[in-house]
Amino acid sequence: MTTDTQEAPSGAPEVADELVDAAPKSNAVALFDPLQKIKAGLDQLKADHEAADWDIETTAGDDAARKFRKRCVSIRASADAVYEQCNQPLLKAQRDARALRDEIKAFVEPIELAWDAKIVAKEQRKAAEKKAREEAEVARVKAIRATIASFGELVVSVAAASASKVSDALDSIVGRQIAEEEFAEFIDEAVASWTKAVRDLQSLLQAAEEREAEARRLEEQREQLRLAEEAAERERQAAAKRATERSHMLGLITMAAVSAVGKSSEHISAAITGLEQYRPVTDAFADADVSDALERTISQLEAMRQSTAESERLRAEYNERVRRQNEEAAEQFKKLQKQKDDQAAEAVELKRQQDAFEAERLAAIEQANAQKAEVKEGAAAELDALEAAAPAPEPEAPAAQVDAANEPAAEPLVEQPPPADDQPAVAPARRPAEAQIVAVLANAFNATEEDVITWIATFNIAYKEIAA
DSSP state letters, 17-82: TT--SPPP-HHHHHHHHHHHHHHHTHHHHHHHHHH----TTSHHHHHHHHHHHHHHHHHHHHHHHH
pLDDT band of residue 69 (cuts 50, 70, 90) is very high
Per-residue model confidence (pLDDT) at position 418:
52
Q: What is the pLDDT of residues 187-204, one digit of tens each?
A: 898 898 899 988 998 898
**187: Cβ contacts below 8 Å, ≥ 6 apart:** 178, 180
Per-residue model confidence (pLDDT) at position 382:
67
Q: How many CA atoms lie within 13 A of 239 on its CB side?
A: 7
The values of phi and psi at residue 407, to 5°, are: -85, 160
pLDDT band of residue 29 (cuts 50, 70, 90) is low
Max mean pLDDT range (54-58, 311-315, 371-375, 420-424):
54-58
Q: CA 6 to CA 87: how far, in whole Å?
A: 31
The residue among 465 and 233 whose pLDDT is bigger is: 233
Per-residue model confidence (pLDDT) at position 467:
46
**CB contact at 8 A, 365 and 417:** yes
Lowest mean pLDDT among 30-44, 94-108, 392-406: 392-406
Q: CA 248 to CA 455: how far, in whole Å?
A: 8
| Rounded CA Rg of the chain | 72
Segment 349-374 shows an average pLDDT of 80
456: pLDDT strictly greater than 50: yes
Segment 291-299 shows an average pLDDT of 80
Q: What is the pLDDT of residues 161-191, one digit of tens each?
A: 888 888 888 888 888 888 888 888 888 988 9
Segment 87-107 shows an average pLDDT of 88
CA 307, 464, 298 angle in degrees (round to 5)? 35
**Residue 7 DSSP SS3:** coil
Segment 269-276 shows an average pLDDT of 80
302: pLDDT strictly greater than 60: yes
Q: CA 185 to CA 197: how far, in whole Å?
A: 20
Q: What is the pTM of this model?
A: 0.31
388: pLDDT strictly greater than 80: no
**54: Cβ contacts below 8 Å, ≥ 6 apart:** 60, 61, 62, 64, 65, 68
402: pLDDT strictly greater than 60: no
Segment 273-299 shows an average pLDDT of 74
Average pLDDT, the chain: 78
84: pLDDT strictly greater than 80: yes
416: pLDDT strictly greater than 90: no
Of residues 415, 412, 453, 461, the one with CA closest to residue 434: 453
108: pLDDT strictly greater than 90: no
Per-residue model confidence (pLDDT) at position 47:
93
145 burial via Cβ count (<10 Å: 0-12, 13-18, 19+): middle
110: pLDDT strictly greater than 60: yes
The residue among 395 and 87 whose pLDDT is bigger is: 87
pLDDT band of residue 458 (cuts 50, 70, 90) is confident
Per-residue model confidence (pLDDT) at position 22:
46
Per-residue model confidence (pLDDT) at position 178:
82
The residue among 276 and 166 whose pLDDT is bigger is: 166
pLDDT band of residue 451 (cuts 50, 70, 90) is confident
Long-range contacts of 56-64 (CB under 8 A, 24+ apart): none
Q: CA 247 to CA 216: how far, in whole Å?
A: 46
245: pLDDT strictly greater than 90: no
pLDDT band of residue 397 (cuts 50, 70, 90) is very low
The values of phi and psi at residue 430, to 5°, are: -80, 135
415: pLDDT strictly greater than 50: no
pLDDT band of residue 284 (cuts 50, 70, 90) is low
pLDDT band of residue 131 (cuts 50, 70, 90) is very high
Per-residue model confidence (pLDDT) at position 134:
93
The residue among 78 and 19 whose pLDDT is bigger is: 78
